[in-house]
Amino acid sequence: MRHVELTAADTGRTVCLTVGGSVRMNLDGTKERPWSPVKAEGGILKGANAGIVILPGDALAAFTASAPGTARLSASRPLCATGPGKISCLGIQEWTVTVKVTRP
């Protein structure tokens, strides 16, 4: 596959790309429940220009597959809204996707 687009609903998925392909994710958050920046582990995905301005709380990222292998994308956000007068909790919502990259 040459291009994959992901959202928060894709958590837990495994997607496949070929070297040179790209993966882009847009995690819709809120100012009260912001997503952390998306991290790529595994060394085979290189950051790319995501191309647009995001709203407060959103996480937007894009990566290009530079070598065969497996990578893990991850982000998190609070389960409960934060701020004055809000009920707080220590819960965290995790988002992860596994990316498998093969040669074209």
Overall number of domains in the chain: 1
CATH number, domain containing residue 55: 2.60.40.2020
Q: List the single range of 7-11, 23-27, 78-82, 96-100 with lowest mean pLDDT.
A: 78-82
Q: Could you tell me which residue, 1 or 94, shows the higher pLDDT?
A: 94
pLDDT digits (tens, 9 = 90+) for 54-93: 788 999 999 999 999 999 999 999 988 766 776 677 889 9
**Domain with 23 in it:** 3-102
CB 3 within 8 A of CB 21: yes
Residue 53 confidence (pLDDT):
67
Q: How far apart are CA 36 and CA 42, in angstroms?
A: 19
From CA 103, how far away is CA 96, in angstroms rounded?
23
Instruction: Look at 2-11, 50-59, 61-70, 94-103 and tell me which has the smallest mean pLDDT.
Output: 50-59
